Amino acid sequence: MNFTLKIWRQKDAKSKGAFETYKVENISADTSFLEMLDILNNNLIHEGKEPVAFDHDCREGICGMCSLHIDGHAHGPSQGATTCQIYMRKFKDGATITIEPWRSAAFPVIKDLVVNRSAYDQILQAGGFISVRTNSVPDANAILIPKADADEAMDAAACIGCGACAATCKNGSAMLFVAARVSSLAKLPQGRVEGARRAKAMVAKMDELGFGNCTNTGACQAECPKQISIAHIARLNREFLSAKFED
């Protein structure tokens, strides 16, 4: 398979970026998207050119590092999958593929397709830790939790913090990410103690870092590789209002 790649190249956050066009040929349909970029970079290095910088780590859909906007979709054309789980058979032979970094004011470009997503780390730090000690596993298992609550908490905890929600949202909102983190603890008794305070602190930090407001378009849920539900945003709003009433 042969492809034309339109890739965003940018030296750093202060430099002006632009798309550059490359050709890759004889790519196997079973080649992953990141492996295809590896092949492109290998060709560029042999030609004495600067390789394309892009983020990756586990390549198993776990870490969320492979954050690319492909043909206008966060992580690419497949739903419920990260970029590293996309294979070239998803594209037509001879297709032109446009590859960009996350487009969010809170995620400044470091170089080419790599962005600084430390804003999410700062939001998590604002949320803090739980104060309840569960000690050993038997002690933790002694706290009975309804299965429905445990399942919902685990579904929320599946969020990998890749940033697709904020990069997809027309407002650049990080509400789905914050909501998933809040829900993963709010549905468990260990996380209830600081539930209201956590929601208030994380929303405040999100606003401080320049993320936009949520207008419930649902784009974040549609593009989330872990298919986190926007229903968690409703819980975040309830937790946030509870914190306001406690003030």
Q: Looking at residues 97-101, what average pLDDT do you find? A: 98
Least confident of 37-46, 89-98, 123-132, 204-213: 123-132
For residue 247, name the pLDDT band (cuts at 50, 70, 90). low
pLDDT for residue 197 = 86
Distance between CA 81 and CA 84 in Å, rounded?
8
pLDDT for residue 235 = 87
The per-residue pLDDT for range 175-223, each reduced to its tens digit, is 999 999 999 988 888 888 888 888 899 999 999 999 999 999 999 999 9
Number of other residues whose CB lies within 10 A of the CB of residue 191: 19
The per-residue pLDDT for range 159-179, each reduced to its tens digit, is 999 999 999 999 999 999 999
* pLDDT at residue 130 tops 90: no
pLDDT above 90 covers a percentage of the chain that reads 77
CB 91 within 8 A of CB 48: no
Strand-pairing partners, residue 21, are 6
The per-residue pLDDT for range 26-81, each reduced to its tens digit, is 999 999 999 999 999 999 999 999 999 999 999 999 999 999 999 999 999 999 99
Strand-pairing partners, residue 4, are 23, 96
* pLDDT at residue 118 tops 90: yes
Buried/exposed code over 39-50 (b: 16+ C-beta within 10 A; e: otherwise): bbbeeeeeeeee
pLDDT for residue 97 = 98
Distance between CA 194 and CA 144 in Å, rounded?
19
For residue 134, name the pLDDT band (cuts at 50, 70, 90). low
pLDDT for residue 129 = 83
Question: What residues contact 179, with CB distance under 8 A and at least 6 apart?
Answer: 156, 228, 230, 232, 233, 235, 236
Q: What is the full DSSP assignment across 73-101?
A: EET-SSTT--GGG-BGGGS-TT-EEEEE-
pLDDT for residue 140 = 65
Helix axes 147-157, 175-186, angle to 10 degrees: 150
pLDDT for residue 186 = 86
Which own/partner contact pairs does 86-91 have at CB distance under 8 Å and 24+ positions apart?
Answer: 86/32, 86/33, 87/29, 87/30, 87/31, 87/32, 87/33, 88/1, 88/3, 88/27, 88/28, 88/29, 88/30, 88/31, 88/32, 88/33, 88/36, 89/29, 89/30, 91/1, 91/3
Strand-pairing partners, residue 74, are 69
Distance between CA 152 and CA 150 in Å, rounded?
5
Distance between CA 104 and CA 115 in Å, rounded?
9
* pLDDT at residue 141 tops 80: no
